[in-house]
Amino acid sequence: MKEHNAQIRNCKIADDAIIIQPINAYECEIGENTFIGPFCEIQRGVKIGKNCRIQSHTFICEGVTIEDNCFIGHGVIFINDVNPIANNPNWLLKETVIRRGASIGSNATLLPVTVGENAKIGAGAVVTKDVLKNTTVVGNPARVLKK
């Protein structure tokens, strides 16, 4: 792993992963030949596969799995709480899965969903529902542009 002033704690990171400073990552997994841009946060339990590219300013919260060969654009935000309340004793983690080969455009926001293989999320989209494989969605809320 090539590392430059990153804040990385208790992570499992492939030797050939490239991480550009600064980032905050803890208790996560980053696969072979994956690139992580600067100013990202990757939280506990996140799994990122091999051959992925995560662009700068992206927030990947607990409960997110990104499979192999995925592209995550600049400033993408993942959300794991559909009913955010400060100090909620009944909080339940909601999971998000990004399947192999999916691409997510810059500044997209994803609530807990599954994004299918080779699906594409347009820049700025707000994804509130699952996206089928080989489907392109755009807009707020995201809607199908192309299958």
Q: In 10 A of CB 36, how many CB atoms?
A: 27
Which residue among the candidates 50, 74, 100, 133 is catalytic per the annotation?
74
Burial of 14 (0-12, 13-18, 19+ CB in 10 A): middle
b/e map 81-112, b = 16+ CB within 10 Å: beeeeeeeeeeeebebbbbbbbbbbbbbbbbb
74 a catalytic residue: yes
Q: Which residues are catalytic?
A: 74
